[in-house]
Structure 1
Amino acid sequence: MRKSRKLAVLTGVGLAPCLVLGLSTTPASAHGWVTNPASRQAQCATGTVQCGDIKWEPQSVEGPKGLKDCAGGNARFADLRDDSKGWKVTNVGSSTTFNWKLTVQHATSTWQYFVGSTKVAEFNDGGARPAPNVSHNVNFKGITGKQKVLAVWNIADTANAFYACIDVNIGG
Structure 2
Amino acid sequence: MRSRRKIAAVIGAALAPVIAVSLPASSASAHGYISNPPSRQAQCAAGTVSCGEIKYEPQSVEGPKGLSSCSGGNSRFAELDDDSKGWAVTNVNSTTQFQWTLTARHSTSTWQYYAGGQKIAEFDDGGAQPGATVTHDVNFGGLSGKQKVLAVWNIADTANAFYACIDVNVGG
For Structure 1 versus Structure 2, the TM-score category normalised by the shorter chain is 0.7 to 0.9
> CA–CA distance in 2 between the matches of 1:170 and 1:143?
7
Task: Give percent identity, aligned residues only.
Answer: 69
> CA–CA distance in 2 between the matches of 1:67 and 1:26?
22
Aligned residue number for residue 66 of structure 1: 66
For residues 88-127 of structure 1, the C-alpha deviation after alignment (integer angstroms, 9 at most, x for no partner) is 0000011100000001110000000000320000000000
CA contact (8 A) 2:64 2:72 kept: yes
Aligned residue number for residue 148 of structure 2: 148
* Matched residue type, 2:143: I
> Does residue 95 of the first structure (1) align with residue 95 of the second (2)?
yes
CA contact (8 A) 2:30 2:162 kept: no
Give the TM-score, by structure 2 length.
Answer: 0.85
> CA–CA distance in 2 between the matches of 1:49 and 1:57?
14
> CA–CA distance in 2 between the matches of 1:91 and 1:30?
28
Shift of 1:142: 1.1
* Matched residue type, 2:50: Q
Give the TM-score, by structure 1 length.
Answer: 0.85
> CA–CA distance in 2 between the matches of 1:145 and 1:89?
11
Question: What is the root-mean-square deviation of aligned Cα atoms in Å?
Answer: 2.3
> CA–CA distance in 2 between the matches of 1:149 and 1:50?
20
Aligned residue number for residue 108 of structure 2: 108
> Does residue 130 of the first structure (1) align with residue 130 of the second (2)?
yes
> CA–CA distance in 2 between the matches of 1:162 and 1:27?
14
For residues 67-89 of structure 1, the C-alpha deviation after alignment (integer angstroms, 9 at most, x for no partner) is 00000000000110010100000
> CA–CA distance in 2 between the matches of 1:25 and 1:118?
37
- Mapping 1:1-172, distance limit 5 Å: 28-172=28-172
CA contact (8 A) 2:30 2:61 kept: no
How many residue pairs get aligned? The number is 157
Q: Which consecutive residues of structure 2, in runs of 5 or more, have no partner in the other structure?
A: 1-7
> CA–CA distance in 2 between the matches of 1:26 and 1:152?
23
> CA–CA distance in 2 between the matches of 1:116 and 1:139?
13
Shift of 1:26: 6.9
Q: Which consecutive residues of structure 1, in runs of 5 or more, have no partner in the other structure?
A: 1-8
Q: Could you list the runs of 4 or more consecutive aligned residues of structure 1 that deviate by over 6 angstroms after TM superposition?
A: 23-27
* Matched residue type, 2:81: R
> CA–CA distance in 2 between the matches of 1:157 and 1:118?
26
